[in-house]
């Protein structure tokens, strides 16, 4: 058990009697990186981000400059007198919240800054020794100059990818990239740089002349040539002011939401987390929060509402909080005929909206109440109430069962990973966390209704909530096991898998002892020193590592064992409540270490492995490297759990119930409440100390309640009134709390309340162990092929079959259109040539396309988003094989072409027989990018299959080739044919007139002799 430590907050820049304020600067947050490179990302707080490396060339296709979820540029290359500045020659990088500083071995200093609110990058170079300095924009999806539009206008070099001007009305990303320099001295019309490092290509270069030993390059994006030129020249003139303004904005933000402790590393991590979290509050379409970088550069409802308190409310950013809630209310499903009627979106991208989650709407309601409580914005209650009411009534009409449980699909909770064979962690039809959130939604909605005079709704929803809670305690308690069922299945049976979702259901549990047991068991089974696991390691389906190809694809582990950083927030809430602040802070320190020393600089990842790999000392980071709810929960618990701050601006009441660990004794911080900012200083050691409070402005008074641990069974509660402009110091010792003001000292009368803090000292964190007999770590029973095997070159192989297919026939039944995502380039579903050859040991297949896409998500594939099936008819007997093509093809072969074997090609290769048995499989692994399955340069997918598996072909074999768009459901793996609907969307094809038609865009039929 940890001893009690009390916290309190400090002020902003104004001088306050008795409170000293050290201004936070970005310079003190500098993180030096030498040796191994670290990832770093910046945003412009609109719709753009830049993801790069401190000291290395880009290692992932996700890296580069992105705007409106579209990759604009892979990187840039700087050369001095024709010699490139190589990232490998950076001997040290200094990462600041606003910019990146690289120091090269030749003395050149580079300062990279992404500007606020503009699609603009600034690359400042100092200590340059050379007469000509060149900047070349680099691209990784084409190496042909013919694929680019290049022009010069008013000393600005302009480049556009030719496919961009053909964007659809739904696509609103910029088209042009403009490059200029400051000073504006340049040589025009230069030839392309000799950049041969695949897969990056620079179609044109901009040559500038330094002024003394300095030059600054400006890179901008725009919708038109004129807009891009105007923006480039404007930034070239004003970039110094804008860079300084970006730095000033961040410093003002940190000092307006001041937080400094006597633990320097914890303090630095808090400041970095604030800046990183604020960087994800964007204005893409409307105000929202990017869920995470690099692949969640869009708005996820659930993530946004969980993030809202830590992202905006504890820092006093009430304006953004309100706008984010208004954005999602505007996107609510208001169609009474829709099965998702009343739901707040799960996902909003630049051109699509999805409502496939059960918990987004409850989290929305709770976030709205949190906002009102912090901001005191009672007018917002009335404005948002229609959305709150619709969310509740829609669920009661469409989704509540006879026990008022909220029903949902297998993948409609936060554990939502789905593969071609269905959900990886099915939790339908009634998950425990969904019921608890639904209960809170009903209670909060009832309070909203009552405050607005809708007593009928308030009474009805309150009654439903009472019934729901009673039924939950009747049906979800797992017998005598002192745990909750994770979910109830459709037949009413309970799932006994031990998951962390119980943490979210504790408040709906009636029995205090059961609540304590849930906390204890979750702690000792799921909480490692580095975070909270998604599944107990004794479960037979436990996956210890996120990536463990080729044994399994990454989504198989997504919610089945690995650690989710954001879950630590809810566990820390419970830990400090039960008096285990020191234990909780042990997990917090792991997050501090990550922010400062591991992975991407200054931020928190989405995931971590459950255990270190053999020979490694720390679990690997994984998932999105820059995750919103990870950062937000880290910040929220600092204020709400450790500091124990509870705000009610409606009644202007402040409650302080600190639970700081023993290692912290001092804290200064600001508390936003309505239009007021209460400043405080806290010091307490060995049960003695003082707290200073100051309210500079706001309402006439703030009622303050301070709850301090008294013994194991009781808390000591003291009340005082804080008047604006009158500082108060609380003198605290083991016997009493005294209030010291300018008029004197008085003892506060305490009230003693019962506490449910545990008296046990035996609770401990789980210890991760990887058992050698884990089912997940076993290789599949069928033969697994390596990259070396599938890329075997058969010298002297004899061509057995070869056929051309017309270009431009990739339209399915004649009307199909591609999904609207710009990542799928035109022609990527258009097969133009197919060849089969053999050397007797292997059978070689080559598929050539009009084009191929490579967004870079999986460099080991060499391509992506194209999916194929090769049906092989071997016995010359009509109807002897199988006619149905699987993996969502919706295609039936002619009986004369029925296959004995079928080869699926997408995120790997899989060969199946007529019974669906897998004969062999190739799953790409890291390193295969050296010789990948597909090549965008040659526009081919080529591979070999051992003849001992598929047989030695002869001239009688016939082949049917089906091509469509690949859908791996975001989790990697072989994938399947992506669905085609009536209207194209971001990730669904369009133009299908009959629902049962195939999901096949191009078809090569065998030649019948």
Q: What is the mean pLDDT of residues 957-983?
A: 94
Which pLDDT band, with edges at 50, 70 and 90, does 171 fall under? low
Q: What is the mean pLDDT of residues 592-613?
A: 98
pLDDT at position 876 is 85
- Give the Cα separation of 436 and 865 in Å (integer): 39
Helices (H) and strands (E) in the chain, counts: 15, 61
Question: Is residue 500 packed enough to be buried (19+ CB in 10 Å), middle (13-18) or exposed (0-12)?
Answer: buried
111-125, 188-202, 439-453: the lowest-pLDDT one: 188-202
- Give the Cα separation of 214 and 209 in Å (integer): 9
pLDDT at position 162 is 85
Sign of CA dihedral 418, 424, 430, 435: negative
Token pair of 283 as six digits: 């204005």
Is the pLDDT score of 190 beyond 50? no
Half-sphere exposure of 548 (CA within 13 A, CB side): 26
Output the DSSP codes for 65-122.
EEETTEEEESEEEEEETTEEPPGGGEEEEEE-SSEEEEEETTS-EEEEEEPTTSSEEE
Count Cβ atoms below 10 Å from residue 731 Cβ, excluding itself: 16
Q: What is the mean pLDDT of residues 113-139?
A: 96
Q: What is the mean pLDDT of residues 279-285?
A: 97
pLDDT at position 822 is 82
- Give the Cα separation of 591 and 269 in Å (integer): 8
Q: What is the mean pLDDT of residues 453-457?
A: 98
pLDDT at position 166 is 58
Give alpha helix (H) positions in 687-834.
787-790
- Give the Cα separation of 131 and 211 in Å (integer): 9
pLDDT at position 562 is 98
What is the maximum alpha-carbon separation in the chain? 107
- Give the Cα separation of 68 and 61 in Å (integer): 17
Is the pLDDT score of 869 beyond 90? yes
329-343, 604-618, 646-660, 756-770: the lowest-pLDDT one: 756-770
Q: What is the mean pLDDT of residues 298-307?
A: 98
- Give the Cα separation of 807 and 814 in Å (integer): 14
Q: What is the mean pLDDT of residues 379-408?
A: 98
pLDDT at position 1 is 39
What pLDDT, in 10s, does the model give residues 52-85? Answer: 999 999 998 899 999 999 999 999 999 999 999 9
Which pLDDT band, with edges at 50, 70 and 90, does 883 fall under? very high
- Give the Cα separation of 707 and 723 in Å (integer): 20
Global pTM reads 0.95
Q: How far is CA 139 from CA 124, 143, 153, 941, in A?
A: 21, 8, 21, 21
- Give the Cα separation of 513 and 20 in Å (integer): 45
Is the pLDDT score of 187 beyond 80? no
Is the pLDDT score of 935 beyond 60? yes
Question: What is the rounded average pLDDT for all residues in the chain?
Answer: 92
Token pair of 693 as six digits: 């409070």
Token pair of 680 as six digits: 């405080």
pLDDT at position 11 is 33
What pLDDT, in 10s, does the model give residues 243-255? Answer: 999 999 999 999 9
With a pLDDT cut of 90, the percent of the chain lying above it is: 82
Residues facing residue 208 across a β-bridge: 133, 186
pLDDT at position 759 is 56
């Amino acid at each position: 058990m940890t001893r009690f430590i009390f916290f309190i907050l400090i002020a902003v820049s104004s001088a306050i009697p008795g409170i000293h304020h050290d201004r936070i600067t970005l310079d003190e947050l500098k993180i030096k990186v030498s040796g191994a490179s670290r990832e770093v990302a910046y945003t412009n707080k609109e719709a753009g981000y830049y993801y790069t490396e401190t000291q290395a060339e880009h290692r992932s296709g996700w890296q580069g400059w992105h705007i409106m979820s579209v990759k604009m540029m892979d990187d840039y290359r700087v050369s001095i007198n024709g010699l490139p500045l190589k990232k490998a020659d950076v001997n040290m990088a200094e990462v600041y919240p606003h910019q990146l500083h690289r120091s090269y071995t030749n003395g050149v200093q580079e300062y990279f800054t992404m500007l606020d609110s503009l699609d603009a990058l600034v690359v400042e170079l100092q200590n340059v020794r050379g007469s000509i300095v060149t900047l070349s924009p680099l691209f990784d999806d084409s190496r042909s100059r013919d694929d680019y539009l290049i022009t010069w206008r008013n000393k600005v070099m302009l480049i556009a990818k030719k496919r961009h001007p053909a964007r659809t009305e739904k696509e609103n990303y910029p088209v042009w990239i403009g490059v200029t320099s400051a000073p504006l001295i340049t040589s025009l019309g230069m030839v392309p740089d000799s950049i041969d490092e695949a897969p990056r290509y620079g179609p044109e270069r901009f040559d500038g002349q330094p002024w003394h030993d300095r030059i600054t390059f400006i890179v901008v994006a725009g919708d038109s040539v004129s807009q891009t030129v105007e923006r480039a020249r404007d930034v070239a003139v004003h970039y110094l002011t804008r860079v300084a303004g970006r730095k000033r904005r961040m410093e003002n933000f940190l000092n307006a939401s001041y937080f400094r402790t006597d633990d320097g590393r914890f303090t630095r991590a808090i400041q970095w987390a604030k800046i990183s979290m604020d960087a994800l509050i964007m204005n893409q379409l409307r105000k929202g929060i990017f869920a995470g970088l690099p692949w969640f550069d869009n708005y996820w409802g659930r993530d946004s509402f969980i993030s809202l308190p830590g992202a905006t409310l504890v820092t006093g950013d009430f304006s953004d909080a309100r706008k984010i809630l208004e954005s999602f209310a505007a996107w609510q499903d208001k169609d009474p005929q829709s099965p998702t009627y009343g739901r707040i979106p799960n996902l909003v991208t630049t051109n699509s909206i999805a409502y496939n989650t059960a918990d987004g709407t409850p989290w929305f309601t709770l976030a709205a109440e949190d906002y009102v409580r912090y901001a005191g914005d009672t007018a917002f209650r009335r404005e948002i109430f229609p959305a709150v009411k619709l969310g509740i009534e829609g669920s009661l009409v469409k989704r509540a069962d006879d026990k008022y449980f909220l029903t949902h699909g297998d993948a409609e909770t936060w554990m939502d990973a789905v593969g071609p064979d269905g959900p990886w962690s099915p939790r339908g039809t009634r998950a425990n966390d969904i019921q608890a959130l639904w209960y809170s939604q009903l209670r909060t909605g009832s309070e909203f209704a009552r405050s607005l005079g809708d007593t009928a709704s308030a009474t009805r929803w309150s009654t439903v909530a009472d019934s729901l809670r009673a039924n939950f305690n009747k049906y979800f308690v797992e017998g005598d096991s002192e745990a909750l069922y994770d979910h109830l299945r459709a037949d009413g049976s309970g799932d006994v898998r031990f998951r962390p979702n119980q943490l979210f259901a504790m408040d709906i549990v009636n029995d205090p002892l059961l609540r304590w047991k849930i906390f204890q068991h979750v702690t000792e089974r799921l909480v490692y020193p580095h975070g909270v696991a998604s599944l107990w390691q004794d479960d037979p389906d436990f996956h210890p590592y996120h990536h463990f190809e080729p044994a399994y694809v990454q989504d198989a582990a997504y919610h089945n064992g690995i650690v989710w950083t954001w879950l630590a927030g809810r566990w820390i809430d419970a830990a400090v409540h039960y008096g285990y602040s020191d234990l909780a802070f042990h997990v917090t320190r792991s997050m501090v270490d990550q922010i400062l020393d591991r992975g991407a600089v200054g931020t928190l990842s989405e995931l971590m492995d459950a255990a270190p790999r053999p020979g490694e000392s720390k679990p690997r980071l994984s998932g999105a490297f820059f995750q919103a709810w990870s950062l937000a929960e880290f910040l929220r618990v600092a204020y709400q759990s450790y500091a124990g701050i509870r705000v009610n601006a409606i009644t202007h009441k402040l409650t302080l119930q600190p639970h700081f660990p023993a290692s912290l004794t001092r804290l200064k911080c600001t508390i936003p409440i309505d239009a007021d900012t209460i400043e405080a200083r806290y010091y307490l050691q060995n049960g003695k100390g003082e707290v200073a409070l100051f309210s500079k402005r706001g309402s006439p008074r703030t009622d303050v309640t301070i709850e301090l641990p008294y013994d194991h069974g009781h808390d000591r509660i003291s009340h005082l009134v804080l008047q604006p402009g009158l500082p108060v110091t609380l003198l605290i010792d083991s016997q009493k709390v005294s209030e010291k003001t300018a008029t004197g000292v008085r003892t506060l009368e305490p009230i003693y309340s019962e506490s449910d803090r545990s008296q046990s000292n035996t609770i401990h964190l789980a210890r991760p162990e990887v058992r050698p007999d884990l089912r997940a770590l076993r290789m599949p029973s069928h033969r697994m092929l390596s990259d070396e095997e599938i890329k075997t070159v058969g010298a002297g192989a004899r061509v057995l079959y070869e056929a051309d297919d017309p270009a431009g026939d990739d339209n399915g039944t004649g009307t199909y259109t591609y999904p609207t995502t710009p990542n799928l380039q035109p022609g990527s579903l258009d097969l133009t040539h197919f060849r089969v050859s053999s050397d007797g040991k292997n059978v070689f297949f080559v598929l050539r396309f009009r084009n191929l896409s490579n967004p870079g998500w999986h460099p080991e594939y060499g391509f992506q988003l194209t999916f194929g099936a090769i049906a092989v008819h071997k016995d010359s007997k009509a109807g002897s094989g199988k006619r149905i093509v699987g993996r969502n093809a919706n295609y039936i072969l002619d009986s004369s072409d029925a296959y004995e074997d079928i080869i699926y090609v997408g995120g790997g290769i899989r060969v199946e027989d007529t019974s669906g048995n897998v004969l062999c499989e190739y799953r790409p692994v890291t390193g295969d990018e050296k010789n990948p399955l597909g090549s965008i340069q040659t526009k081919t997918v080529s591979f070999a299959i051992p003849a001992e598996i598929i047989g030695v072909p002869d001239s009688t074999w016939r082949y049917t080739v089906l091509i469509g768009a690949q859908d791996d459901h975001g989790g990697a793996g072989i994938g399947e044919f992506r669905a085609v609907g009536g209207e194209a969307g971001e990730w669904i094809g369009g133009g299908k007139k009959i629902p049962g038609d195939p999901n096949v865009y191009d078809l090569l039929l065998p030649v019948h002799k």
